[in-house]
Amino acid sequence: MLKTISLGVIGGGQLGSLLCSAAKKLNVKTVVLSDDKEGPAQHFCDKFIYSKYDDNVKVREFISKVDIVTYEFENIPVDFLNLIQKEKKVLPSPKINKIAQNRKLEKTFVNELGINTTDWVYIRSAEDIKKNQHLLPGILKSNTLGYDGKGQFVLNSLDDIQKDWCFTKDYILEKKVDLKKEISVVIARYSDGTMSSYEPIENVHKNQILFKSKIPAKISDKIFKEAINNAKKIAESLSYTGVLTVEFFLTKNDRLLVNELAPRFHNSGHLTIEAFNISQFTAHVRAVCNLESKSIKKISNAEMYNILGHEILDYKKKIFKKNEFFYDYQKKEPREGRKMGHITILKD
Ligand code: ADP
Ligand code: MG
């Protein structure tokens, strides 16, 4: 009989939870390492270890209990991943974390593959911004550790530079894109090089937080193909194993630009749970655990809406139709702007 695989998952949020649920259906056991005691994945995994990255005893316990390690978010110290890698395989390979954690490295990497991004420059001081006024109106983004628009400042003109900014951190300044729309491509690559992609998903953000995702994306065939080809090129160049998400901007002039990479399943891919033969989570587990590759096929069109903060309270009382799939992440505190759940609606 085959030994049951034990998959280590770093991070205990909603993405980790959904990954654990998918693993369970594949008979893969999950051990979650979370630095958040309240991490909702504890309700979905086989074992939950609450630990900081520097708690040697707990980390050793985690390593001893797993065959392979993956993660639900990219901002994990690369040294920590490399430490684990000495004993157990970490997939996707930590070299992608180094790139995806750092906007400068990420954009450089993408540009070197011959793929366009918005114009950007690395910023260390207010003086650097003044020298690059051609990028205004622009968005100043902290070079590391941003998510859901955190660490971002819109600069319409030099007057928006605050006097008290002391640039102790580094930033990049990006030209503000005249957006027609945003799309994402979620792609799975297996270690034997097999790749299978979901179709591009159209995304609407509100206050820089994903509000809605839908398929089909209203884009031309040319953009459809270009987006998938770019995602494949990126995955291939990294000899990537697992699910990778590429976020794109489509400009008003129909130029496709890469916004950022996520070396993981993605909020915009939640609709894959119901709308495809296998979800992004199942695809990820299959790829990192080296299970047989499976090609991705659409079952239905769909829309997904994030449920933020206190909105969850109304949803909990609702009765849903047959084509509506509600997820409650079981987070304790419905803080403002916090992702509390989502709903996917299947469409004709
Ligand atoms: P995060 O890491 O927080 O997801 P992103 O760089 O993806 O950061 O930015 C979040 C959202 O802000 C994007 O999805 C987009 O809606 C908007 N945004 C970011 N950069 C730009 C830009 N250069 N031009 C126009 N809109 C942008
Ligand atoms: Mg983003």
165 pLDDT above the threshold of 90: no
Structure tokens belonging to residue 318: 């609702």
Please, are residues 157 and 173 in contact by the beta-carbon 8 Å criterion?
Answer: no
Q: Considering only CA atoms, which of 57, 58, 56, 55 is closest in space to residue 47?
A: 58
What pLDDT score does 145 carry? 85
Adjacency order of strands within the sheet including 29-34:
47-50, 29-34, 6-10, 68-71, 89-90
CB atoms within 10 A of CB 45: 26
Structure tokens belonging to residue 205: 């953000």
What pLDDT score does 300 carry? 98
48 CA distance to ligand 1 centroid (A)? 33
What pLDDT score does 1 carry? 58
Paired strand residues for 171: 123, 142
> pLDDT tens across 283-318, in order?
999 999 999 999 999 999 999 999 999 999 999 999
Structure tokens belonging to residue 217: 């994306």
Range with lowest mean pLDDT among 77-91, 133-147, 189-203 = 133-147
Q: Taking residues 65-89, report their average pLDDT.
A: 97
- What is the widest separation between alpha-carbon atoms in the chain? 68
2 pLDDT above the threshold of 80: no
Q: Which of 117, 144, 259, 267 gets mutated to test ligand 1 (max ligand atoms within 8 A of its CB)?
A: 259
Which CATH number among 3.40.309.10, 3.40.50.20, 3.40.50.300, 3.30.1520.10 corresponds to the domain 6-90?
3.40.50.20
Q: Residue 64: which residues within 8 A CB-CB, separation 6 or more?
A: none
147 CA distance to ligand 2 centroid (A)? 7
With cut-offs at 50, 70 and 90, classify the pLDDT of residue 37: very high
H/E element holding 316?
helix 311-317
> pLDDT tens across 110-126, in order?
999 999 999 999 999 99
141 CA distance to ligand 1 centroid (A)? 9
With cut-offs at 50, 70 and 90, classify the pLDDT of residue 162: confident
pTM: 0.96
- The CATH code of the domain at 119-175 is 3.30.1490.20
CATH 3.30.470.20 for the 179-346 domain, yes or no: yes
Domain ranges for the chain, please list them. Answer: 6-90, 119-175, 179-346
What pLDDT score does 164 carry? 80
Percent of the chain with pLDDT over 90: 94
Q: Which of 132, 208, 267 gets mutated to test ligand 1 (max ligand atoms within 8 A of its CB)?
A: 208
Pocket of ligand 1 (CB under 6 A): 118, 139, 146-149, 174, 176-177, 179, 182, 205, 208, 247, 259-260
205 CA distance to ligand 1 centroid (A)? 9
To which residue do tokens 């994903």 refer? Answer: 210
The ligand that comes nearest to the alpha carbon of residue 75 is 1
* Pairing outcome for strands 68-71 and 339-347: unpaired
> pLDDT tens across 227-275, in order?
999 999 999 999 999 999 999 999 999 999 999 999 999 999 999 999 9
